Amino acid sequence: MYAGIDAGSRAIKVVLIGDDGFEIIAQGQVDQGVEQDQLACRLFEQVLADGGVCRSDVRRIVATGYGRNAIPMADTTITEITCHAVGVRHLVPDVMTVIDIGGQDSKLMRLDRNGKVRDFAMNDRCAAGTGRFLEVVADQLGLSLGDLGPMAALSRSPAAISSMCVVFAETEIIGLLAGGRAREDIVAGVQTAIASRIVAMAGRNAESPIVFTGGVARISGMETALQTALGRPVAISPEPQMTGALGAALLARRQHDSY
Amino acid sequence: MGNCFDSKDIKINASDPCHPPQCGALGPGRASVPARQRASCGDARPTADSPPAWFEGMIRNCLQYACEAKAKGRHIVGILCEYTPRELIMAADAVPVCLCGGSAEMIGPAQEHLPANLCPLIKSTYGYHVQKANPFLEMADMVVAETTCDGKKKMYELMAETRPMYVLELPQKPNDADAMAHWVRELRKLKTRLEKAFGVTITDEKMRQAIRTMNRERALRRQLAELMKSDRPPLTGRQLLQFKSNISCICADVAQYRRALELYKPVSAEESVGQAPPYQIRVLMTGVPVVHGAERVVEIIESHGGLVVCMDNCTGLKPILEDVDETAADPMVALAEKYFRLPCSVMTKNSRRLDVLTELARQYQAQCVIDLVWQACLTYDVESYFVKRLAETDLGIPYLRIETDYSPSDSARIAMRVEALFETVRQRASA
């Protein structure tokens, strides 16, 4: 079997797949922390135990994600761009566009008919339009990440959030709260702002089917905001937080086969 | 006037972390002191043992050259753009020196006057000006600039408050019939200004001599760059980038270009028989200049599986791709014609850049295009739309745009994009 480890900025994910490359044997995730290598190691052992397999059964390990170069047990590393594309394509075979919003990155990948990455775009230096941005907002409004979706659904007129800088948006939200704006309008406004940022990356011609993945895809309401902004349907990937690790495991198998 | 920096003056700065000695913030200089060079041509034997070692000391070599020239009564003229014909300055028996800043440390001081949202090249150059930290600028008798981008143009106004500054008006519609005539007039005005300021006469013969000298250096540097056309180039893009000088046509530099051409030979087809194909992805780099001290992105590309086989920018092939006509009846017209053809993004339309890129991608067998845009460089930023379309549609190779500044905080993210680009290239190759 083969393993993929996605060491993201906010969470580490591990997926173990069988020799046939179709069956997921076991998977797990843990919040990112100070000693990433040890966190990843413990998680990996946990996933092995869950799958009832031992370390020597794993033929190859590929690490991906922000911290991919600090995973000593990995045989090699592949970027999250390629891994997410492969992972999503495995789950949704006809996908043409992948939107991945993670802890500190948002990315858009355009695939060709064979599922290979044609090109990609990414946010630059700042964490605007990412999971971290939503965390800051939730924190400021006294909500958990899980509350954001239901809260946004209540909004009838989303607030206009002009600043996509985490720091300045915080100031802007303080202003909106002071002005008596309802929390649901603020949350909905933030989701709309993130979605418009993605549209700027995608251009108007993102090819369907469009699949949304990454940790932020688990926050309800985000896909609706993306759909509205893009003007076309957006499907949430199955297991959105795991597609990077899944892609890494699938690529580990492909690499092993080609040796 | 004439306060030439010698090594004693420069050492005063050594205790200040913002201003490393020997204007090291312009780029790393070597610690050891070079043997004195002869100023006359023909007998220049640099003692550094190899071209890479020699050019590593480029700033120090230039400084020594400039100080010696100044001591002999020659004038120093700072330049800030490849549109300025060095030949005209050389024909006035002055020394043109490039002043473009590549240091992140100079950005803070610049922002006391300039907006934060301005390109790092402009800010760094200006930071040296306010800090009086660029010895070449401090010894300059004149600065020649031109109306290129808005950021530079307005920055020059600030600089001109305390420096003798001459600004050429660069026409920006290269295809207009009267544009060239205007540019020729602008160069003639500069000639008059140089003659008045320095009390010299710029004769046609002096201009022709300078043209021949510059052509000779351009030809050597072009041959070096062309080594990268090989399937197995003998240099990295980073090494090639090192082979340049802020002062053109220093005899010792010319000798080192020649030496490099003897030293580095492309691997022949016979020699490479049976060898595995090179692993690196061949990158065509375009966009903004990669000035001395700001080579970070080139280093990231080449430490993540890429080989920059060609740079079409102002610190790469752009200024050396074409020569000045040595036989023209009017050397001023010949100069104007060569320089006006530079395909900079300040031009509209700048379709020549796309033509040049198409040709270079073919000659250098580029597998992808990386477009470097300094943050807030509006003209290159907007033009990246055309370059992306050219790469993906016409050339059929992947394209990556990197927008960054001089601070290294996004190096890991840039590396990730570069790696992902190379994965894309390899996937396509294996398809």
What are the pLDDT digits (tens) for B335-373?
999 999 999 999 999 999 999 999 999 999 999 999 999
Contacts of B311 (CB under 8 A, 6+ apart): B237, B241, B284, B285, B286, B290, B317
pLDDT reported for residue B271: 79
With beta carbons less than 8 A apart as the criterion, state whether A150 and A219 touch.
Answer: no
pLDDT tens figures, A5-32 = 999 988 999 999 999 988 999 999 999 9
CATH number, domain of A201, equals 3.30.420.40
Q: Report residue A6: phi and psi, to 5°.
A: -110, 100
Contacts of B427 in chain A (CB under 8 A): 82, 116-117
Contacts of A105 in chain B (CB under 8 A): 413
B111 shares its domain with B197: yes
What whole-number percentage of chain A has pLDDT above 70? 96
Give the residue numbers spanning the domain of A130: 93-237
Which residue in this structure is represented by tokens 């020729």? B184
| Shortest alpha-carbon distance between residue A147 and chain B (Å) | 31
Q: Is the dihedral of CA B119, B120, B126, B131 positive or negative?
A: positive
| Interchain pair B424, A119: CB under 8 A | yes
**Helix axis angle, B331-340 relative to B204-226, nearest 10°?**
30
pLDDT tens figures, B127-161 = 999 999 999 999 999 999 999 999 999 999 999 99
- Strand, helix or coil for residue B68: helix
pLDDT at B15 over 70: no
Q: Does any domain span residue B249?
A: no
Interface of B with A (CB under 8 A): 392, 398-399, 403-404, 409-410, 412-413, 416-417, 419-420, 423-424, 427-428, 431
CA distance linking residue A98 with residue A200, whole number of Å: 15
Return mean pLDDT, chain B.
89
A99 shares its domain with A227: yes
Query: Max Cα separation, chain A?
Result: 63
By C-alpha distance, which of A99, A109, A164 is closest to A136?
Answer: A164
**Among B193, B209, B225, residue at a domain's last position:** B209
Question: CA A12 → CA A84, A86, A258, B339, distances in Å?
Answer: 14, 18, 27, 55
What whole-number percentage of chain B has pLDDT above 90? 83
Chain Cα centroid distance, residue B429: 33
pLDDT tens figures, A133-155 = 888 889 989 999 889 989 999 99
A131 shares its domain with A189: yes
The model's pTM is 0.88
Mean pLDDT of A208-232: 92
Q: Does any domain span residue B423?
A: yes
B179 shares its domain with B285: no
CA distance linking residue B346 with residue B146, whole number of Å: 11
Where do the H-state alpha helices sit in B43-178? 51-56, 58-71, 86-91, 107-110, 120-131, 135-138, 150-159
pLDDT reported for residue B123: 97
Could you say which DSSP state residue B33 is in?
P
CATH number, domain of B155, equals 3.40.50.11890
> From B402, which residue of chain A is nearest by alpha-carbon distance?
A124
Contacts of B423 in chain A (CB under 8 A): 78-79, 81-82, 117
pLDDT reported for residue B409: 87
CA distance linking residue B197 with residue B141, whole number of Å: 9
B306 shares its domain with B169: no
> From B368, which residue of chain A is nearest by alpha-carbon distance?
A119
pLDDT at B218 over 50: yes
The number of distinct structural domains making up chain B is: 2
**Among B151, B174, B209, residue at a domain's last position:** B209
| Shortest alpha-carbon distance between residue A181 and chain B (Å) | 32
Q: Does any domain span residue B255?
A: no
B56 shares its domain with B201: yes
A189 shares its domain with A249: no
B399 shares its domain with B320: yes
A with B: how many residue pairs have Cβ under 8 Å apart? 47
> From B401, which residue of chain A is nearest by alpha-carbon distance?
A121
pLDDT at B37 over 50: no
Q: Does any domain span residue B1?
A: no
| Interchain pair B423, A119: CB under 8 A | no
A229 shares its domain with A259: no
B203 shares its domain with B83: yes
Which residue in this structure is represented by tokens 């858009």? A108
A222 shares its domain with A100: yes
Contacts of A117 in chain B (CB under 8 A): 420, 423-424, 427
**Interface probe with B: pick from A76, A81, A107, most Cβ of B within 10 Å:** A81
Query: Max Cα separation, chain B?
Result: 67
pLDDT tens figures, A79-133 = 999 999 999 999 999 999 999 998 888 899 999 999 999 999 987 666 667 888 8
A105 shares its domain with A214: yes
pLDDT reported for residue A127: 65
Beta bridge partners of residue B79, listed in sequence order: B98, B144
Beta strands in chain A (DSSP E): 2-7, 11-17, 24-31, 60-64, 76-77, 97-101, 106-111, 117-122, 210-213, 234-236
| Interchain pair B420, A119: CB under 8 A | no
Q: How confident is the model at residue A203 (pLDDT cuts 50, 70, 90)?
A: confident
The number of distinct structural domains making up chain A is: 2
| Interchain pair B417, A119: CB under 8 A | no
Beta bridge partners of residue A61, listed in sequence order: A3
Contacts of B412 in chain A (CB under 8 A): 66
CATH number, domain of B365, equals 3.40.50.11900
pLDDT tens figures, B220-241 = 999 999 999 999 999 999 999 9
Contacts of A79 in chain B (CB under 8 A): 416, 419-420, 423
Mean pLDDT of B34-54: 55
CA distance linking residue A39 with residue A6, whole number of Å: 12
Q: Does any domain span residue B266?
A: no
What whole-number percentage of chain B has pLDDT above 70? 89
Give the residue numbers spanning the domain of B12: 7-209
Which residue in this structure is represented by tokens 């080449």? B302
Contacts of B399 in chain A (CB under 8 A): 119
A229 shares its domain with A102: yes
Rounded to 5°, angle at Cα B369 from B368 and B372: 145
A62 shares its domain with A131: no
A199 shares its domain with A80: no
A179 shares its domain with A230: yes
Question: CA A131 → CA A101, A122, B242, B247, distances in Å?
Answer: 7, 14, 41, 49
pLDDT at B88 over 90: yes
A228 shares its domain with A163: yes
A66 shares its domain with A125: no
**HSE of A40, CA atoms in CB hemisphere, 13 A:** 31
pLDDT reported for residue B429: 83
Mean pLDDT of A187-204: 86
B61 shares its domain with B148: yes
B59 shares its domain with B190: yes
Q: Report residue A67: phi and psi, to 5°.
A: -100, 20
pLDDT at B28 over 80: no
pLDDT tens figures, B260-271 = 999 999 877 777
Q: DSSP labels for B245-291?
A: -SSTT-HHHHHHHHHHHHH--PPPTTTTTTSPPP-SEEEEEEES---
CA distance linking residue B176 with residue B347, whole number of Å: 11
**Among B209, B240, B269, residue at a domain's last position:** B209
| Interchain pair A117, B420: CB under 8 A | yes
Question: In terms of pLDDT, which residue wins out, A162 or A102?
Answer: A102
Return mean pLDDT, chain A.
91
Question: Which two three-digit tokens encode residue B374?
Answer: 């300094």
B293 shares its domain with B386: yes
pLDDT reported for residue B3: 37
pLDDT at B11 over 60: no
pLDDT reported for residue B431: 66
Rounded to 5°, angle at Cα B21 from B164 and B37: 80
Name, of A201-215, A216-230, B35-49, B129-143, the range with top average pLDDT. B129-143
